[in-house]
Chain A
Amino acid sequence: MTASIVADHLRKTFGTTLAVNDLNLNIAAGEIYGLVGSDGAGKTTSMRLLVGALKADSGDAWIGGFSVNRQTEQVRAQIGYLSQRFPFYEDLSVLENIRFFAEVRGLSRQEWLPRCMEILKFVDLEAFKDRRAGQLSGGMKQKLGLASALVTRPKVLLLDEPTTGVDPVTRQDFWQLLIRLVTTPSVGEAGEGKGEGIAVILSTPYMDEAARCQRVGFMRLGRMIAEGTPSQLRASLEGCILEVRGRSLPAMRQVAVKIKGVEDVRAFGDKLHLRVARGQAEPVLAALARAFPVSSGDGVEARLVPPTLEDVFISLSESKD
């Protein structure tokens, strides 16, 4: 299978800041790829390099086989791009907004109208096609953004934090749409019925969403420092996360931060989560038991728990090179 999104040693500096440093990607049709990392890690710059909105200092990217450096127009014809804030004309209707977007992209009425209706049905906005964009709820605006990005039947969808500030119900709906999109070639893709879904790359601050991607890439200081399936990434912290319950969180915390092998201590509701160095779970558990003897009536309950993607995120973003 040919990869739909390829990045080959992409590099971009702004002044003295190295925003993207040697980025390589290989994303297949039908794949949803998640890009995560701290603020300023280079996610948005990477997206903008992939769509050709920024020019790389060196390296190149290929979208559906076209070079972003040399075939920018063909590349743009392949992609749908949704940035963190979708620009709408609030006083135009849903349909007029999509029409505007489609005509800017050079689609004729015969082309855009039937597509538009099909897509509005797909995102469940059909009943609201005549409503002014300014009157839509947050979730509907997000669907309109997605519909606009889909009207050109892109082979590749780039979504930059599409769900930030969106409630869980809407996020759940949005993800179900995305999954239908990558598994239903005829709705999005240019070559209908070829059996290949579209490729999606998205950035998100929500780790539960990152866990829904087939693969996740962690960026830090412009570099990709880890990449894999969610379960591969979680496996890297297997045996390193302890959950501790007890009477007094502050007291447990004071003790825990001083135990050798403990790398991070966080309050999590009524319990503490400790991240310990590899192989240190047993000694740390023993040290906790010594510090809070059951006989004192102040014993703590500590156990290993499976790591989450959020634990992985925090561990990676604090890691030293």
Chain B
Amino acid sequence: MPDPVVITENLTRCFGDFTAVDHVSFSVEAGEIVGYLGPNGSGKTTTIRMLLGLYEPTEGKATVLGFDAFRQSEEVRKRAGYMSQKFALYDDLTAWENLVFYGGIYGIRDRKRIEATLTLVGLTEHKTDLARGLSAGWRQRLALAIALVHQPKLLFLDEPTSGVDPSARRSFWDLIYTLAAEGVTILVTTHYMDEAEYCGRVGMMREGRLLALDTPAVLKKQAVPGDVWEVSAGPLQVALNAHATCVGVLRVGLAGDHLRMITERGLSEDELRLGLKSAGLRVERLERGEPTLEDVFLSLAKG
């Protein structure tokens, strides 16, 4: 078995008296797609920046592609691609020129390589368009092309699809699968729970700590503290407060056009129905539900 692509041991980073990343240990194997979730400010971006050698760990260490992420960051950056949430494109250069410019930074002068990268992300048709004129979806693909031009073995994607519409997001993920199938290891942060479902394993951060890292199926089994119910009940305001008024209801949240409730394990449908009714609710629908990654997220994020 080849060595893991990423290994962190007690990786820690403080800014003043604030601990942004707190003793995080995990490893990622070649060709894995690992999702990284957590509330804003939970330490996801700081972790990625340490893996790229942009921040020195306050404590612990990270080994990336066999190199020390901080002391050998040049070696890591030659072999890793990074697409940040606020990627920088030169608006007055064309897609092609942007890629030539960024490729140059990595010493890529081969036009065929640049051409192939544009084809890979499907940007050939927009090659001569100014970056300024590209839609959010195409800009995102160009940013991905820039992260890929030096054919990295490892790709860090920091909220790559933020603000991108659902069609463009799906096509983007098709591309990610293609890369992973070719052996590229991918570490991606996202706020979209459906995207987290696409990942082989998902890590969940809160307040700098890695609370869990496992397959979506295992997380759903282990991290949700009770039974899940799909509920349509009104008035909505009263229903949203059911965790305070009904015995056994642990959490209430909005899920599309209905509610999801998490109750203590073993609470029967009749008991729940009765509890909701005596809290003054009109119950229109009450069914058992399957836990989702959003349930996992809400459970772990709120502690």
Q: Do A and B come from one complex?
A: yes
Contact of A38 among B168, B193, B197 (CB under 8 A): B168
Closest to A211 in B: B256
CB neighbours of A268 from chain B (8 A): 197-198
**Interface assignment of B280: CB less than 8 Å from any CB of chain A:** no
Flag whether A297 is at the interface (Cβ < 8 A): no
Are the CB atoms of B256 and A165 closer together than 8 Å?
no
Q: Please choose the segment from A72-80, A95-103, A312-320 that sits at the chain B interface, where 4 or more of its residues have CB less than 8 A away.
A: A312-320
Interface flags, B147-187, vs A, CB<8A=1, else 0: 00000000000010011111110100110010001000000
Q: A38-B168, A206-B192, A267-B174 are in contact. Are A230 and B40 (CB under 8 A)?
A: no
Give the CA-CA distance A258 to B295 in the complex, in Å.
37
Q: A65 interface residue, CB < 8 Å from B? A: no
Contact status A317-B301, CB under 8 Å: no
> Are A269 and B216 CB-contacts (below 8 A) given A137-B41, A138-B41, A169-B301?
yes
Contacts of A314 in B (CB 8 A): 166-167, 170
**B135 contacts A40, CB within 8 Å?**
yes
- Per the 8 Å Cβ criterion, residues 244-278 of A in contact with B are 249-250, 266-269
Q: Known interface pairs A38-B167, A39-B164, A205-B166. Does A172 touch B298 (Cβ–Cβ under 8 Å)?
A: yes
* Given known A-B contacts A165-B162, A165-B191, A208-B255, A266 and B174 have beta carbons under 8 A apart: yes
Q: B174 to chain A: which residues have CB within 8 Å?
A: 266-267
**Complex interface: chain B residues within 8 A of A36 (CB):** 165
* Most chain A beta carbons < 10 A, residue from B137, B165, B177: B165
B residues touching A (Cβ–Cβ < 8 Å)? 38-41, 85, 135-137, 159, 162-168, 170, 173-174, 177, 181, 191-194, 197-198, 216, 235-237, 240, 253-257, 294, 297-298, 301-302
Across the two chains, which residue of chain B brings its CB closest to A265?
B174
Other than the given A206-B192, A211-B257, 4 more pairs (CB < 8 A) read A38-B165, A40-B135, A168-B297, A172-B253
* Given contacts A166-B191, A168-B193, A39 and B298 within 8 Å (CB-CB): no
- In the bound complex, residues from chain B placing their C-beta under 8 Å from that of A169 are 39, 297-298, 301-302
A176 within 8 Å of B by Cβ? yes
Which of A39, A164, A170, A180 has a CB less than 8 Å from the CB of B137?
A39
- Nearest-neighbour CB distance to chain A for B200, whole angstroms, equals 9
Interface residues of A in 135-177 (CB under 8 A from B): 137-139, 161, 164-172, 175-176
- Residue numbers in B under 8 Å from A166 (CB-CB): 40, 191
Query: Which of A39, A172, A175, A314 has the largest number of chain B CB atoms within 10 A?
Result: A39
- A183 contacts which of B168, B235, B253, B256 (Cβ < 8 Å)? B235
8 Å CB contacts to B: which residues of A204-262?
Answer: 205-208, 211-212, 229-231, 249-250
Chain A residues with Cβ below 8 Å from B173 are 267
Nearest-neighbor residue (CB-CB) of A138 within chain B: B40
Give which listed residue, B181, B191, B194, contacts A310 with CB less than 8 A.
B194
Once bound together, how far apart are the Cα atoms of A317 and B298, in whole Å? 31
Task: For residue A184, give the distance in angstroms from its CB to the closest CB of chain B.
Answer: 8
Which residue of A is nearest B39, CB measured?
A167
Contacts of B298 in A (CB 8 A): 168-169, 172
The reply to whether A205 and B256 form a contact with Cβ atoms under 8 Å apart is no
A184 partner residues in chain B, CB cutoff 8 A: 237
A37 at the interface (CB under 8 A from B): yes
Within 8 Å by CB of B256, from A161, A230, A318, lies A230
Q: Give the shortest distance, in Å, between A138 (CB) and chain B (any CB).
A: 4
A179 and B237 form a contact (CB under 8 A):
yes
Question: Are A39 and B257 touching (Cβ within 8 A)?
Answer: no
Chain A residues within an 8 Å CB radius of B294: 168, 208
Q: How far is the CA of A314 from the CA of B237 in the complex (A)?
A: 32
A259-B171 Cα distance, complex, nearest whole Å: 20
Complex Cα distance, B181 from A130, in Å, reads: 52
